[in-house]
Amino acid sequence: MHTRHWWKLMFLVLAAGFAGVMVIGVGTYRHAPPIPNFVDGSGKIVVSANEILEGQVAFQRLALMEYGSMFGDGAMRGPDFTADALHVVATAATEHETGAPGTAVTRMRLALRTNTFDETTNTVTLPPAVVAAVTDLRTHVAELVGGDGPESITPHGLVSDPTTQQRLADFFFWGAWVCVAERPGTGHSYTHNWPYDPLAGNNPTADVSLWSVLGALGFMLGLGWVLYLYGRFQVPAETAEAGTPNDLPAPSASSLSLFRPSASQRMAYPFFALAAAVMVLQVTAGIFTVHDFVGLVNLFGWQVDDTLPITIVRSWHVQLALFWIASCWIGASLFLLPLMSGGEPRGQARLARVLFAALTLLVAGSTVGIYMGPTGLLGEWWRWFGHQGWEFVEFGRIWQVALLVGFVLWGVIVLRGTPRLVPGGNWWSLPSWLLYSVASITILYLSSFVASPTTNFVIADFWRWCVIHMWVEAFFEVFTTVIVAYILYMMGIMSLQAGSRIVFLATLLFLGSGILGISHNFYWNAKPVAAIALGSVFSTLQVVPLILLTLEAWRFRRGPDHARRRSGDFALAEAFLFLIAVNFWNFLGAGVFGFIINLPIANYFEHGTYLTVNHGHAALMGVYGNLAIAVTLFCARYLLPAARWNARLIRVSFWSLNIGLMLMALLDLLPVGIYQLSDALEHGLWHARTRAFIDSDFFQTATWLRAIGGPIFVVGGVIPIAWFVLSRVRGRKPAGDGGAPQDDAIGPRPAP
């Protein structure tokens, strides 16, 4: 554990992780399902490769991934288009099967599973029954996207052009073929026989069961090993490490009154205010989204879904969440850098103002573009200024470029505020860790620029997950651990050296499990078996560092100055509350709710159901949302005069946010997810995603029960905390130098 050895361990973890991802990436390109011309027995084209790609472009232009899903990835309002198409084709092909030996179902399964792909001509020859089923599928999709029947997309008549309807059907047929046709040289489909569909003969493979057992074994071994290391190398919280400064005393209100922020530290607050405003918009979009599920789309005569289709409001709900959380983190880094580094370089505040202006423009421009793209107001420019059609990477390419520029500027600010990184300097200080994580977040974002609208969907999805997963489950975790470690130091709970050691250990665990854990996103979107093998082991190991952080949280809670913090003379008590909530949701939302869906055999049946939604809400809001608010309150306590602080209001917001989130999970998301899983086990995923299922009594009742936790979350939680932050923009302390003579307020500075 000596720091001189840290680079060796870090190199091994990164090298192993990215080598594994590279193996999956190479396998994705080499073994991606082809996009062929589907022909009949006479060689006549039934579905052309160009028509499939045109359907994929239409799918993205209309943002249909925000209504339903493809290979299980996307929204839950509508069907999984691959599962739906597979079942329609299997049903129709069964009806059209005649004149061959065996039952019609047996002949249908043989016709669908037999892969006749000819690489030299790029063709797949379809049997007559499947050719006839393609026509039936086109009729079904035309009604689905353009009709007004019970299973039609809302608002009805979304796609009126018959050519676009047919192209979408052709794209969905290709997805169904990928799910059922056997990959050459194997006994399973490109998607390992996902989705489960008893009629089509899709059942989990032996590899799915085998790697589920090995994944559970790996989790138990990994947990035991980490707990051993934890006990072997931990330093008692009550004892300062030999040769290191003692922990700071817990800050009091009187000590914080002496603090005067520097110019760049004052600039942190506008980022928090922007985050508060965006959070209100994001939650409002979520309310509109839920209302669509229960049919409450008429507001005083205004037909909401005609003006704001669910594809739009759901896109806002997802994208704005990332914006307001990121804005809080940027603000926190601006505030903490001068404290970490012992000062700030000249011109730092000016760069912070430029970054704030750029972020504000990005939020406004992308929000408007997300509306204009799918509604057709941008014409052929939909991809550049509107909506790219990918979940979590919604906004147009020009806004992607703007975000990349913002990340680079953020990195420059952090670099300028970081102590020297030269031989003899401290390469493992907390500011250095902060710089590494920001640089990694920026570099990984380059992955989002690889794919184009006509890139094979399977390949494009690989690059999409390289952004989303690597951010959320790897380098975002490192960034937040650095921020939390320094905040705990400022709270008098741990020393800088202990914080650096914890960051190092947590980074090893997060990157060691998180980088290869990306594979659990690749179980069913036509990746090689290696994706299941790696994902089953390393995605379950992602729970281990969350358990470790929970242990650390409770140990810190009993650390130095515990009695003083309990006495009420602890000025950062409200921020500390939110940090405790972060660890609670880390364990429950990210850990427990994530673990129950990560093993391949569970994920095979669960993928594309509300159990994923339950995990996503509990992890994103519970962990990252609470953390964003925690760092905001921590910084605001230093930036605002004591008279402007309102501890009671913040505590009401804390309990309302977390009780409301818990009620939404326990009364709606979790039970609906279990009910949907049960339906998928009985009938297949296609049935669990139908409008009939969504309109069923249990689903509708559970969604209405969200009206218990939702108002508590919004009225008691979101509105008060947003009002608190926004109403104090003009009440900040005047600028000082962020340091002497008020060092008593923040304690000794770390050496550069």
Kindly tell me if the per-residue pLDDT of 245 is higher than 50. Answer: no
Residue 448, classified by CB atoms within 10 Å of its CB into exposed (0-12), middle (13-18) or buried (19+), is: buried
pLDDT digits (tens, 9 = 90+) for 133-155: 999 999 999 999 999 998 999 88
Q: What is the mean pLDDT of residues 567-571?
A: 70
Count, residues in the chain: 752
Distance from C-alpha of 501 to C-alpha of 485, rounded to nearest angstrom: 10
Instruction: List beta partners, residue 39.
Output: 45, 125
Q: What is the mean pLDDT of residues 654-670?
A: 97
Q: What is the pLDDT of residue 425?
A: 58
Say if CB 363 and CB 514 are below 8 A apart. no
The CATH number of 36-203 is 1.10.760
Say if CB 255 and CB 496 are below 8 A apart. no
What torsion do the CA atoms of 382, 383, 385, 388 make, to the nearest 10 degrees? Answer: 110
Other Cβ atoms less than 10 A from the Cβ of 546: the count is 26
Kindly tell me if the per-residue pLDDT of 750 is higher than 50. Answer: no
SS3 241: coil
Closest-CA residue to 447 (of 475, 467, 462):
467
What is the identity of the amino acid at 720? P
* pTM confidence score: 0.92
Q: What is the mean pLDDT of residues 312-340?
A: 94
Average pLDDT, the chain: 88
Kindly tell me if the per-residue pLDDT of 226 is higher than 80. Answer: no
Distance from C-alpha of 403 to C-alpha of 471, rounded to nearest angstrom: 14
Instruction: List beta partners, residue 38.
Output: 47, 124
What torsion do the CA atoms of 221, 225, 227, 233 make, to the nearest 10 degrees? Answer: 180
Kindly tell me if the per-residue pLDDT of 297 is higher than 90. Answer: no
**pLDDT range class, residue 483, cuts 50, 70, 90:** confident
Half-sphere exposure of 242 (CA within 13 A, CB side): 0
Distance from C-alpha of 65 to C-alpha of 62, rounded to nearest angstrom: 8
Helix (H) or strand (E) holding 123: strand 123-125
Say if CB 546 and CB 587 are below 8 A apart. yes
pLDDT digits (tens, 9 = 90+) for 717-741: 999 999 999 999 998 999 875 543 3
Location of structure tokens 């840290």 = 6
Under 8 Å CB-to-CB from 730, ≥6 apart: which residues? none
Instruction: List beta partners, residue 298.
Output: 303
Q: What is the pLDDT of residue 546?
A: 63
pLDDT digits (tens, 9 = 90+) for 81-123: 999 999 999 999 999 987 655 689 999 999 999 999 999 999 9
Q: What is the pLDDT of residue 746?
A: 41
